[in-house]
Amino acid sequence: MSTDVEWLTAEQEQVWRRWLALNAMLPAALHRELQADAGLSLPDFDVLVHLTDNPAGRVRVSDLAHALQWEKSRVSHHVTRMQRRGLVCREGCPDDARGAFVVVTTAGRAAIEQAAPGHVRAVRDLIFDHLTDAELQALDTITRKVSARLAPTSDGGAAGR
């Protein structure tokens, strides 16, 4: 092993491993809840949230990819699956022949409206109901700091690297 690396302390390593486990367990739990309540996957829900957050109910494919932190090909494949289920449709972009919009359908709106109450209950139960105000503030501070370090810079890299 290289000696020029500053290895994690035992405490840092344990926190990191718990973080990784949480990163696997939380989405899995939310996915199970969404499947049971509304027949949606967590990625379906994420797409529908971005679409329904937009007053027009539509988002350009490239903007959706950026918002979800997905490759455009992943968005395209996922949207195709959602389209087959009637949750979304695609529309051409009038000012860009190569561009396209993903549009939430009536069925997609109904699906997210059905899913949202159970999803909120699950998020509250799994996270927020068990945190004190101070812990919530600490979690907010931590997630903001880590997110800022990961945010892309104008040169395409991550901030702080």
- Distance between CA atoms of residues 116 and 123, nearest Å: 10
Helix (H, G, I), strand (E, B) or coil at 97: strand
Question: pLDDT value at position 151?
Answer: 84
Q: What is the pLDDT of residue 157?
A: 61
**How many helices (H) and strands (E) would you count in the chain?**
6, 3
Say if residue 41's pLDDT is above 80: yes
**Which pLDDT value is given to residue 20?**
97
- The residue length of the chain stands at 161
Encode pLDDT of 12-40 as tens digits: 999 999 999 999 999 999 999 999 999 99
Q: Which residues in 32-70 are b (16+ Cβ under 10 Å) and which e?
A: ebbeebbebbbbbbbbbbbbbeeeebbbebebbbeebeb
Question: What does the pLDDT read at residue 156?
Answer: 56
pLDDT value at residue 155: 58
Per-residue pLDDT of 85-141, as tens digits, reads 999 999 988 777 678 899 999 999 999 999 999 999 999 999 999 999 999 999 999
Looking at 3.40.50.460, 3.40.50.2000, 1.10.10.10, 1.10.1240.10, the CATH number of the domain 31-139 comes to 1.10.10.10
Give tens-digit pLDDT for 53-73: 999 999 999 999 999 999 999
Task: Please name the residue that has the structure tokens 């991550």.
Answer: 158
